Amino acid sequence: MTVPFIGYVDRFSARPGGRIEVKVSSALGGTYEADLVRVRHGDPNPDGPGIRYIPLPSNFAGTYPGRYQPTHLGSHARIAAAGLDTGPAFTLVVRAQPWLLSAEPRTVAARLDDAGNGWSLAITDRGARFTVRGGGQEVSAEVDAPPVARRWYELTASFDGTTITLDQKALAVTWGARDSGAATAAAAAAIACPPGADITVGAAVSGGLASAHFDGRIEDPRLYRGVRAPGGGAPDAADPDLLAWWDFSRGIDTQAVEDAGPAGLGGVLVNLPTRAVCGSLWTGAEHAWRHAPRHYAAIHFHSDDLGDAGWQTDFVVDIPADMKSGAYGVRLKAPGYEDVIPFYVVPPRGTNSAPVVFLASTFTFQVYANYNRFNCDDGYKARRAAWNAYPYHPDEHHDFSHSTYNFHPDGSGIALSSRLRPIINFRAGYLSYEDLRGSGLRHYPSDTHLLDWLEEKGIAYDVITDEELDEEGLDLLRPYKVLVTGTHPEYHTPRTLDAIQDYVGDGGRLVYLGGNGFYWKVARRLDLPHVVEIRRGEGGIRAWAAESGEYYNQLDGTYGGLWRRNGRPPQKLAGVGFSGQGKFEGSYYRRLPASYDPAVAWIFDGVEGETIGDFGLSGGGAAGFELDRADPILGTPPNAYVLARSEGHQDHFVTVPEELLTHLTTVTGEAPADLIRAELVYFETVKGGAVFSTGSITFCGSLSHAGYDNQVSRMLENVLRRFAA
């Protein structure tokens, strides 16, 4: 189902003097209106403050013509091969590992002109197929040997001008399967394949449109002069008949395809296929692709990959020199439809306008982009309609690919995410869950609970995003007295984690207001700024598990997975780390004796009662969903105060797997159920810095309760005003 009216921006943030390009697709016809709003509160729950947009004047406000802009999913490699004339007789040799087999052909490699003439090698669930088309003729040979999914095959396809010879050879013994074979076919008259057309790998491209995408891995495609017998052995750059050899083991960390043959016909990857995956040569002897790149000479192509939606720009937002740092949106309106595309304005480089800075977790937003949760049921739809919430859900719309919490159609986990596409769940008013005790918000809209509260309390703040922090590091944080996170700062690069750690170590104050934070390591290249990568290696609560031998990121070559397995547990930075998780429900904290120590009693000035936070717009309680706890062995400082601990969690909560040794025993020796807890932690650093951590994703949902006058609100205000003083 196509989303009728939606847009995206070319970047999540900009500075005064910068610009943001806005790209809109409308299937409605006619025109639409655009204007600028400041986003204050993104929760549509009628029991809270409601959606709050503040309209602002802008240079782009006005009326624009609507147009539909399609999105083309699916990855492939494209080689501009105008200089490669294969002559009347040639041979294509390639290794392929199909992961998704179907009756329809899935293209391994092709060379087609705009009219569809040329050759293509494909795999179906019946076997390999080689087709040559031209001069009004078409000849095709198909091997009668059904391939087995996730098995490697060497395919050899020769054409001498009239006759096709095709061979499919299984590279591993598959007991009981007859998946090797050969076929021939002859045309009635000679066919001249048109020279000059692009060569593509992983899809057939004709007239600029890609089709018949391959779901699986392809390795070492190469072309030779003349007809060649199958089983010629490993590729050899010195072979006198070699025309081209696209060695995918080269440039694994890039989007380039290199030709190891004499013609030097390099190419590019389209729509972010996955690299640094095990090829047919992988033996298990090496797990880091940098150590044995030929073991990783494969690329995994998918029919739903998306690196750039490629929409044209409709208008530009020029950021005025005096625009205040904060959360904004481009509001688009058409009869019966509205879309508010978020973006942030960050302060001019090297400056700040407030002592407090909020770090927007844009890497986390991107990792979760278009998360297909399979929860868009009748109850969810009824809640969405009753609250006039954001009307779309990734379960219903698959135009823009899905998140790294989902699988590709062939069953492989999605490892790469681009922000150059519409992101349905990166919107104010978007409901992640039908939360019977609250609103069911996560990520961007749930962070507006905090931004709204800061505005209500008159606490001045700037906004930065993960991207600026990754690119500028500690220098970006130095002007600020306090760094405040959102509700779920889960995904970090080495550079963002280094910057925050150095900031705290140099005397900065960190307020960590989430749960399951600083958990997964992601990779990013500065020359590919719109992409983040996650390898879900051993350990952790995982949406999918990376294949053996594939725990190292393609973008930076480093080991991925949990930060804990990279020697940096969250406790080392924030004093708490992921410990337990359940459904989207909240509970409360109970104060511990340490909270009455005179050294920290100021945190609880005006906070009444032994229990804190049994209310709120997120799961009905301040301590819920994903919970973090202190652990001295994992790095909680010895001077840390554990001020309060959550209790009363529902039976569906579980201990995270990295804490479990067996179903009965844990790393700490505590009972598994005892590790299901969130803890409020405070500690100071030797250079005058301090850290305050809440250990719960649902904490900020309690801030607006009772007109912003409640225990949670008072406690956070005490901390922020003291930290900023």
Is the model's pLDDT at 1 over the cut of 80? no
**Half-sphere exposure of 577 toward its Cβ, with a 13 Å CA cutoff?**
24
Please give the structure tokens belonging to residue 410.
């062939």
Q: How big is the chain by its Cα radius of gyration, in Å?
A: 28
Is residue 5, in this structure, part of any structural domain at all? no
- CATH code for position 161: 2.60.120.200
* Structural domain count, the chain: 2
Per-residue pLDDT tens digits for 131-184: 999 999 999 999 999 999 999 999 999 999 999 999 999 998 777 888 999 999
Q: Is 372 helix (H, G, I), strand (E, B) or coil?
A: coil
Q: Cβ contacts of residue 136 below 8 Å, gap of 6+?
A: none
Interval 682-711 mean pLDDT: 97
Q: Residue 423, exposed/middle/buried by CB under 10 A (0-12, 13-18, 19+)?
A: buried
Q: Same domain for 292 and 403?
A: no
Q: Residue 215, exposed/middle/buried by CB under 10 A (0-12, 13-18, 19+)?
A: buried
pLDDT of amino acid 80: 95
Is residue 146, in this structure, part of any structural domain at all? yes
Return the residue matching tokens 């209500």: 456
Give yes or no for a contact between 507 and 685, defined as CB atoms under 8 angstroms apart.
Answer: yes
Closest of 446, 523, 457 to residue 485, by C-alpha: 446
Confidence of residue 644 (pLDDT cuts 50, 70, 90): very high
Give the sign of the dihedral formed by CA 141, CA 258, CA 402, CA 408. Answer: positive
Query: Angle at CA 370, nearest 5°, toward 368 and 371?
Result: 60
Amino acid at 682: Y
Please give the structure tokens belonging to residue 441.
């918000």
Please give the structure tokens belonging to residue 75.
């990855």
CA–CA distance, 486 with 4 (Å, rounded to integer) = 31
**Least reliable range by pLDDT among 117-131, 165-179, 408-422, 647-661:** 165-179
Q: Is 305 helix (H, G, I), strand (E, B) or coil?
A: coil
**pTM, whole model, 2 decimals?**
0.97
Q: Same domain for 332 and 383?
A: yes
pLDDT of amino acid 501: 98
Q: Same domain for 572 and 649?
A: yes
Please give the structure tokens belonging to residue 380.
């969810």
Angle of the 711-724 helix axis to the 444-457 helix axis, nearest 10: 70
Per-residue pLDDT tens digits for 432-448: 999 999 999 999 999 99
Is residue 244, in this structure, part of any structural domain at all? yes
Q: What percent of the chain has pLDDT over 70?
A: 100
Q: Which of 301, 317, 339 is the last residue of a domain?
A: 301
Return the residue matching tokens 């802009």: 69
Is the model's pLDDT at 539 over the cut of 90? no
Q: Same domain for 253 and 397?
A: no
What's the whole-number average pLDDT of the chain?
Answer: 97
- Biggest CA-to-CA distance, the chain: 95
Q: Cβ contacts of residue 433 below 8 Å, gap of 6+?
A: 373, 375, 380, 440, 442, 584
CA–CA distance, 551 with 534 (Å, rounded to integer) = 9
Q: Same domain for 600 and 711?
A: yes
Q: Residue 596, exposed/middle/buried by CB under 10 A (0-12, 13-18, 19+)?
A: exposed
Q: Same domain for 205 and 267?
A: yes
CA–CA distance, 33 with 25 (Å, rounded to integer) = 13
Confidence of residue 233 (pLDDT cuts 50, 70, 90): confident
Confidence of residue 538 (pLDDT cuts 50, 70, 90): confident
Q: Same domain for 149 and 244?
A: yes
Is the model's pLDDT at 551 over the cut of 80? yes
Is residue 58, in this structure, part of any structural domain at all? no
Is residue 14, in this structure, part of any structural domain at all? no
Q: Same domain for 343 and 258?
A: no
Per-residue CA distances from 221 to 133, 217, 248, 576, 580 (Å): 20, 11, 9, 49, 47
Is residue 45, in this structure, part of any structural domain at all? no
Interval 336-352 mean pLDDT: 97
CA–CA distance, 306 with 308 (Å, rounded to integer) = 6
Is residue 20, in this structure, part of any structural domain at all? no
CA–CA distance, 525 with 226 (Å, rounded to integer) = 42
Question: What are the residues facing 559 on neighbouring strands?
Answer: 552
Please give the structure tokens belonging to residue 185.
């076919």
Determine the structural domain holding residue 395 and report its residue range: 326-724
CA–CA distance, 133 with 114 (Å, rounded to integer) = 12
CA–CA distance, 301 with 279 (Å, rounded to integer) = 13
pLDDT of amino acid 362: 98
Give the sign of the dihedral formed by CA 609, CA 612, CA 616, CA 619. Answer: negative
Please give the structure tokens belonging to residue 334.
């058409």
Per-residue pLDDT tens digits for 52-78: 999 999 999 999 999 999 999 999 999
Q: Same domain for 333 and 297?
A: no
Q: What are residue 700's phi and psi, to 5 degrees? A: -70, -20
Q: Cβ contacts of residue 242 below 8 Å, gap of 6+?
A: 222, 223, 224, 235, 236, 261, 262
Is residue 29, in this structure, part of any structural domain at all? no
Per-residue pLDDT tens digits for 187-232: 999 998 888 899 999 999 999 999 999 999 999 999 999 999 998 7
pLDDT of amino acid 196: 85
In this structure, are strands 204-206 and 654-655 parallel, antiparallel, or unpaired?
unpaired
Closest of 200, 132, 130 to residue 166, by C-alpha: 130
Q: Cβ contacts of residue 234 below 8 Å, gap of 6+?
A: none
Q: Same domain for 277 and 413?
A: no
CA–CA distance, 363 with 423 (Å, rounded to integer) = 13
CA–CA distance, 707 with 385 (Å, rounded to integer) = 26
Q: Same domain for 255 and 373?
A: no
Q: Same domain for 456 and 369?
A: yes
Give strand ranges (E) for 177-246. Answer: 181-186, 199-201, 204-206, 209-211, 216-225, 242-245
Closest of 675, 668, 367, 690 to residue 532, by C-alpha: 367
